[in-house]
Amino acid sequence: MDAPLLSIALDLSQALASEDRLARLLDAVRRAIPCDAAAVLELVGDELVPLATHGLVPEVLGRRFPRSEHPRFDVVVARGVPVLFSADSPLPDPYDGLLLKNPNATCDVHACLACPLIENQKVIGVLTADSLDPGAFDGLDEGSLRMLGALAGATLRTMRLIDALEAASRHHEQVARTVQREAHASSGGSQIIGTSEPMKRVLEEIDLVAPTDFPTLITGETGVGKELVARAIHQRGRRADAPLIRVNCAALPETIVESELFGHLRGAFTGAVNDRAGKFEIAHGGTLFLDEIGELPLSVQPKLLRVLQEGEIQRVGSDKVIRVDVRVLTATNRDLTAEVRAGRFRADLLHRLNMYPIHVPALRERRSDIPLLAGYFLDSYRRRLGLGPVRLNERARLALMEADWPGNVRELDHVLGRAVLRAGSKVKRGAPILMGPEHFDLSSPSEPPQRTDGPLPEPLSIPLGTMTLAEAVDETKRLLILRAVEESGGNWAAAARALGMARGNLHHMATRLGLRGDPSASSH
């Protein structure tokens, strides 16, 4: 038996795949022990699970052997020493009728040997050998059998360690690829900037919830910076060293959203050519940020609810349950309560996601932050474009402060980026750049306001004390917009040109000033 045992010991230091390692172990067992069948089983809970077999019918690998139903296995695990079962043992043999050498017999095993696989004085599995010859195992040395069991246990442990290392390596590669893609896809600033009271409250909420693992629903209009809030929560929490994985639910077709979140097995559907981990597995130990959660299909919502409740997922096409440890952050610009009433979102899922809500204010609700944000974006674009100093003149600063910013911080970022590019093209490289409102191209998707019936009043000469300055400015704007639309024959694009402003910005300003929208105006 020395040569087979030596080969098992040498294999422990070899870089072998799990299947190859187990096959070589069974080959060494068959050389050490004269047998017709051999198997390696792992102890999982109170069941023995076959990992590799030789000489047994293939379906054995799909079976489970509970200790309570197979007393021979129970004896070996309980005693922790090799056991040779005699041919006349009253205990039923778990492999009766399963040997390839005599498949038609219902009771064909006459000699049975089982060795416990030991790791740190604990049974982690069983190695079995069976023979149709009743005397095949007579005279085997118990010391050699114990050594065989110890080496086989070390083989199983080595295999599990290597499998775990390979799985961890694959997980890290998936995380790296995902984070890299997210870094390339992200745009705009990466800091939360603002000293206004609304933003101070948001920062306080972030600091409060970050150290917990509470599911957090971040709400607010498009472009307000919900993703930045999610990143701040992650970075200030206990999972900061683990990955933050973002999924844009609005960008996923309904046909693949389940696979994207939970993964799939090869062949689970057309196009599934390989096994693939979902975002929950990739984010294990870290944070998963589900952006635009209001767009998640109703059919997938129960599975997301299960993850939040049980911490369990199943890949598409698999019955195997996978445990995941993930903090879930979500964001939406929709009114999810209204979505629940409309039957498009589950009430129980909303309650789970909304354990700690954070609302991010619109930019028009924090106008005092606009100069800070403008300074940040201007300096960022200056460095990216390799330009000289960039600053705003007073008219430009006032124009930014007065705009309604329907696209919020994201729109401000893009408007300033375009403005820097335009202004920078007209000066020598490195020269100072002074930007005015003529460099801006404000736009808005808002519906245009409506013409009013009746004669249009002239701009007012307002006596002091009858209105505040802000009220007087708004009233003058209102009258000038109405005159421009009237003189342009109801053509809002022409009116915007006459007023020297972008059409979209004119539409939004008129709406803010209380002028009703005219559906027919949008066609001009």
**Model pLDDT for residues 152-162, shown as the tens digit of each residue:** 666 666 566 55
Poorest-confidence range of 5-14, 330-339, 482-491? 5-14
Burial of 173 (0-12, 13-18, 19+ CB in 10 A): exposed
Q: Which long-range contacts (CB under 8 A, 24 or more apart) does 301-304 make?
A: 301/345, 301/346, 301/349, 302/346, 302/349, 303/258, 303/261, 303/262, 304/261, 304/349
Weakest mean pLDDT among 260-274, 285-299, 368-382, 438-452? 438-452
CB 111 within 8 A of CB 133: yes
What topology does CATH give the domain 446-524? Arc Repressor Mutant, subunit A (1.10.10)
Task: For the chain, give every residue range classified as CATH 3.40.50.300.
Answer: 186-361
Cα 502 to chain centroid, rounded: 39
Q: Alpha helix (H) ranges present in 71-141?
A: 71-79
Question: Stretch 218-225: mean pLDDT, rounded?
Answer: 94
Residue of higher predicted confidence among 477 and 370: 370
The winner for highest mean pLDDT among 17-26, 120-129, 211-220 is: 211-220
Q: What is the pLDDT of residue 309?
A: 93
CATH 1.10.10 in the chain, residue ranges: 446-524
Residues 450-501 pLDDT 10s = 444 445 444 455 555 556 776 677 778 877 888 787 777 777 777 887 887 7
Average pLDDT over residues 212-219: 96
More confident of the two residues 421 and 504: 421
| pLDDT score at 466 | 57
Rounded average pLDDT over 7-13: 46
CA atoms lying within 13 Å on the CB side of residue 308: 22
Quick one: 233 exposed, middle or buried, by C-beta within 10 A (0-12, 13-18, 19+)? Answer: buried
For residue 9, the model assigns a pLDDT of 47
CB atoms within 10 A of CB 109: 23
Between 420 and 2, the higher pLDDT residue: 420
For 386, the 3-state DSSP assignment is coil
| pLDDT at residue 522 in the model | 39
CB 419 within 8 A of CB 439: yes
| Architecture of the 2-162 domain | 2-Layer Sandwich (3.30)
The 3-state DSSP class for residue 125 equals strand
Residue 239 has pLDDT above 70, yes or no: yes
The pLDDT of residue 523: 37
**210 pLDDT tier (thresholds 50, 70, 90):** very high
Mean pLDDT of all residues in 297-307: 93
Percent share of the chain, pLDDT over 90: 34
Per-residue confidence (pLDDT) for residue 176, from 0 to 100: 53
pLDDT of residue 53: 86
The better pLDDT of the pair 10, 369 is held by 369
Q: Please indicate whether residue 193 or residue 512 has the higher confidence score (pLDDT).
A: 193
Amino acid letter at 254? Answer: E
Burial category of 328 from C-beta neighbours within 10 Å (exposed 0-12, middle 13-18, buried 19 and up): buried
Confidence of residue 517 (pLDDT cuts 50, 70, 90): very low
pLDDT band at 224 (very low <50, low <70, confident <90, very high): very high
Q: Is 139 left (phi over 0), alpha (psi -120 to 50) or beta?
A: left
Lowest mean pLDDT among 42-46, 123-127, 318-322, 471-475: 471-475
Model confidence at 420: pLDDT above 80:
yes
- Give the pLDDT score at 448: 42
Q: Name which of 260-269, 319-328, 407-416 the model is least confident about.
A: 260-269
In whole angstroms, give the CA distance from residue 283 to residue 118: 34
The fraction of the chain above a pLDDT of 70, given in percent, is 77
Q: What is the pLDDT of residue 14?
A: 55
* Residue 524 predicted with pLDDT over 50: no
Identify which of 90-94, 183-187, 236-240, 449-453 has the greatest average pLDDT.
236-240
What is residue 447's predicted lDDT score, i.e. its pLDDT?
41
Where exactly does CATH 1.10.8.60 map onto the chain? Answer: 364-439
| Residue 232 backbone phi and psi in degrees, to 5 | -65, -40
Q: What is the pTM of this model?
A: 0.55
Span 141-149, average pLDDT: 64
- Residue 31: its pLDDT value, please? 74
What is the pLDDT at residue 135?
72
Average pLDDT in the chain: 80
489/76: higher pLDDT: 76
- Which band of pLDDT confidence, cut at 50, 70 and 90, is reported for residue 235? very high
CATH 3.30.450.40 residue ranges for the chain = 2-162
CATH code given to domain 364-439: 1.10.8.60
pLDDT recorded at residue 427: 85
The answer to whether the beta carbons of residues 243 and 178 sit under 8 Å apart is yes
Q: What are phi and psi of 447, to 5 degrees?
A: -70, 145
Residue 186 scores a pLDDT above 50: no
Class of domain 186-361: alpha beta
Distance CA 77, CA 98 (A): 22
Contact (CB, 8 A) for 288 and 329? yes
Q: What does the pLDDT read at residue 170? A: 58
Q: Give the position of tokens 């067992």.
A: 29
Say if residue 19's pLDDT is above 70.
no
Average pLDDT over residues 122-151: 74
Spatial strand order of the sheet with 327-332 comes to: 244-248, 287-291, 327-332, 216-219, 356-359
